[in-house]
């Protein structure tokens, strides 16, 4: 069926929002005759899939939709989806009356039913999407993303996500395996398993079946023939038990790059954040992983200036950074969020200039680490999955431990594994020549 209506989607936020956007696009294409455009001015329907995790993206929502409304084609509709839709709901239409509908992050599967209903707001937080068949989402031809759970049962005191995505429900194992298989049939060699807390997988299914575990899921997914690489995000350091770590080390299909969101290196602050682990536990888990997986790369998320964070607490964070030597850090300055417990700690909030200074110093420390470690790859031969062709004729791909590598080549290499001898580096990527 040829589509004549055009859809423009802008996605803010995390990888889960990316997959949600792809699902929205697939549903509207299948049931409502829309095809996607990357030109907002051409669109008959404009959707912004929002993030609420910090205040900045929320402000961005209102400035963006204001612009969309000014520049959109006559008669084009505007819809707001995602996490900010969940927590602001009808207030979005009150503040921006030109918005046609609002669909929360836990109601994405309802998109085709609301798109033509002016003024509709679907934000129920207990909607069960765990057995809904989401469209196969792809980052590129070779990498697919598959949701393994919805929602989050943690109550980290700074975090708005549990109130925008609701309680955690695991997606049945056979649905996940089936979706991985479908992605592989369509050419994917790598899969990214997605959830807010992937390694608590299996504690609750909506059909009341017996509990399962993330380790079991990894074992089942890795049986899919033709699948070469499994990645997942985000695991919670608290649930990194020995079983999980041993499976991670043993299972050859699992990428040797793991995300370990530290948040803070201070046991006191971790307690105030309700993260459930201590500085020592985190270091112990990272050390065990590094000892079993020699070329492991570890990425992390860190929040500085959480209420009550003293200089000493901050130095504990730097100490963990120095000991674990993260390969990538996503740094954030604490941002107070509506409805979270940390809002009650207002009197302990850290002055903004101290927060900014801590952020800058942390970024500097990490830069120095990267400057020391990245040149050590020069001279090594690394196995790379080539996944894109750059406008300058180079191809780009990732190693199994997720280092980005550029080399000269052509589109005949796409989707193939090649050995690359590294000749130079930047702080975040490597360059080299293909060898046999």
The residues of the shown chain that bind ligand SAH, judged by CB under 6 A, are: 53-54, 158-159, 161, 196-197, 234, 236, 261, 263, 301, 303, 332, 334-335, 337
Task: Give me the torsion for CA of 243, 165, 254, 429, rounded to 10°.
Answer: -130
Shorter beta-carbon distance to ligand F3S: residue 105 or 385: 105
Tell the smallest beta-carbon distance from residue 160 to ligand F3S (Å).
Answer: 6
Cα separations (Å) of 196 from 103, 135, 256?
A: 20, 19, 20
Count H helices and E strands in the chain, helices first. Answer: 13, 20
Q: How far is the CB of 17 from ligand F3S (least distance, A)?
A: 4
Is residue 81 a known part of a binding site?
no
List the single partner that 157 binds among ligand SAH, ligand SF4, ligand F3S, none, CB under 5 to 8 Å by kind: none
Q: Based on the shown chain and the rule CB under 6 A, indicate whether residue 154 belongs to the binding site for ligand SF4.
A: yes
Which residue number has the CB closest to ligand F3S?
13
Residue 17 touches which member of ligand SAH, ligand SF4, ligand F3S, none, C-beta under 5-8 Å by kind: ligand F3S
Q: How far is the CB of 152 from ligand SF4 (least distance, A)?
A: 3
In the chain, the largest separation of any two C-alpha atoms, in whole Å, equals: 63
In angstroms, give the least distance from the CB of 196 to ligand SAH.
Answer: 4
List the x/- string, 40-69, binding to ligand F3S by CB under 6 A: -----------xxx----------------
Binding at 335: pick from ligand F3S, ligand SF4, ligand SAH, none (beta carbon under 5-8 Å per type): ligand SAH
Structural contact between residues 83 and 107, judged by C-beta atoms closer than 8 angstroms: no
Q: Kindly tell me which of 264 and 407 has the beta carbon lying closer to ligand SAH.
A: 264
- Strands 77-82, 101-104: parallel, antiparallel or unpaired by DSSP? parallel
198 contributes a contact to ligand F3S by CB under 6 A: no
Q: Residue 194, interface with ligand SF4 (CB under 6 A)?
A: no
Q: Does 17 bind ligand F3S (CB under 6 A)?
A: yes
Q: Tell me which of ligand SAH, ligand SF4, ligand F3S, none is bound by residue 162, counting a contact when its beta carbon lies within the kind-specific cut-off of 5 to 8 angstroms.
A: ligand SF4
Q: Rounded distance, CA 398 to CA 382, Å? A: 9
- Region of 251 (left: φ > 0; alpha: ψ -120 to 50; beta: rest) is beta
Q: Which is nearer to ligand F3S, 20 or 100 (CB)?
A: 20
Closest CA to 340 of 298, 307, 293, 374: 307
Burial class (CB in 10 A: 0-12, 13-18, 19+), 357: middle
Smaller CB distance to ligand SAH: residue 263 or 425? 263
Closest to 421 measured CA to CA, from 380, 385, 365 = 380
Identify which range of 86-94, 132-140, 156-164, 278-286 contacts ligand SF4 by CB under 6 A: 156-164
Residues forming a β-bridge with 99: none
Q: Does 198 contact ligand SF4 by CB under 6 A?
A: no
104 near ligand F3S, rule: CB under 6 A:
no
Structure tokens at 37: 């455009």
Q: Does 237 bind ligand F3S (CB under 6 A)?
A: no
22 closest CA partner among 190, 122, 134: 134
Query: Which position among 196, 233, 264, 399 is part of the footprint of ligand SF4 (CB under 6 A)?
Result: 196
Tokens encoding 185:
């049939």
What does 215-264 look like in DSSP terms, one character per residue? HHHHHHHTTSTT--EEEEE---GGG--HHHHHHHHH-TTB-SEEE---B-
Question: Smallest distance, Å, CB 156 to ligand F3S?
Answer: 12
Beta bridge partners of 145: 137, 192
138 three-state secondary structure: strand
Could you count the other beta carbons within 10 Å of the beta carbon of residue 282? 26
Q: Please pick, from the candidates 7, 8, 9, 16, the single residue that binds ligand F3S as defined by CB under 6 A.
A: 16
- State yes or no: 396 annotated in a binding site: no
Q: Of 17 and 136, which has the nearer Cβ to ligand F3S?
A: 17
How many Cβ atoms are within 10 Å of 226's Cβ, its own excluded? Answer: 12
Helices (H), 266-387: 267-272, 279-292, 311-324, 352-373
Residues near ligand F3S (CB under 6 A) are 13-14, 16-17, 51-53, 82-83, 105, 160-161, 164-165
Please state the residue numbers annotated as binding site for [4Fe-4S] cluster: 14, 51, 83, 152, 156, 159
Residues near ligand SF4 (CB under 6 A) are 152, 154, 156, 159, 161-162, 196-197, 236
């Amino acid at each position: 069926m040829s589509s004549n209506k055009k859809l423009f989607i802008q996605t803010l936020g995390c990888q889960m929002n990316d997959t949600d956007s792809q699902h929205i696009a697939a549903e509207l294409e299948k049931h409502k005759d829309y095809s996607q455009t990357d030109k907002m001015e051409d669109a008959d329907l404009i959707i912004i899939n929002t993030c609420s995790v910090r205040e900045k993206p929320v402000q961005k929502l209102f400035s963006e939709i204001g612009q969309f409304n000014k520049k959109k084609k006559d008669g084009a509709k505007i819809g707001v989806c995602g996490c900010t839709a969940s927590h602001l709901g009808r207030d979005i239409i009150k503040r921006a009356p030109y918005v046609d509908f609002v669909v929360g992050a836990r109601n994405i599967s309802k998109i085709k039913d609301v798109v033509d209903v002016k003024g509709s707001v679907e934000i129920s937080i207990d909607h069960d999407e765990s057995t809904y068949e989401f469209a196969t989402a792809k980052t590129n031809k070779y990498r697919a993303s598959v949701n393994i759970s919805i929602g989050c049962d943690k109550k980290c005191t700074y975090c708005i996500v549990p109130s925008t995505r609701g309680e955690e429900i695991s997606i049945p194992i056979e649905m996940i395996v089936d979706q991985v298989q479908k992605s592989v049939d369509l050419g994917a060699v790598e899969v990214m398993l997605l959830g807010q807390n992937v390694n608590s997988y299996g504690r609750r299914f909506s059909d009341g079946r017996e509990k399962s575990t993330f380790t079991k899921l990894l074992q089942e997914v890795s049986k899919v023939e033709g699948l070469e690489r499994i990645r997942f995000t985000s695991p919670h350091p608290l649930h990194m038990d020995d079983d999980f770590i041993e499976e991670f080390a043993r299972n050859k299909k699992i990428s040797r790059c793991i995300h370990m969101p530290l948040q803070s290196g201070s046991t006191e602050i971790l307690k105030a954040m309700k993260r459930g682990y201590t500085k020592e536990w985190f270091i112990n888990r990272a050390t065990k992983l590094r000892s079993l997986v020699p070329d492991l790369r570890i990425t992390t998320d860190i929040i500085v200036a959480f209420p009550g964070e003293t200089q000493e607490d901050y130095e504990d964070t730097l100490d963990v950074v120095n000991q674990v030597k993260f390969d990538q850090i996503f740094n954030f300055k604490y941002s107070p969020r509506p409805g979270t417990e940390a809002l009650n700690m207002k009197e302990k909030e850290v002055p903004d200039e101290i927060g900014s200074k801590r952020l800058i110093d942390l970024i500097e420390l990490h830069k120095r680490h990267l400057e020391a470690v990245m040149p050590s790859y020069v001279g090594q031969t690394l196995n790379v999955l080539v996944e894109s062709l750059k406008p300058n004729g180079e191809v780009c791909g990732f190693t199994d431990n997720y280092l980005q590598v550029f080399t000269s080549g052509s589109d005949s290499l796409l989707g193939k594994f090649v050995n690359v001898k590294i000749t130079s580096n930047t702080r975040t990527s490597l360059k080299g020549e293909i060898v046999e």
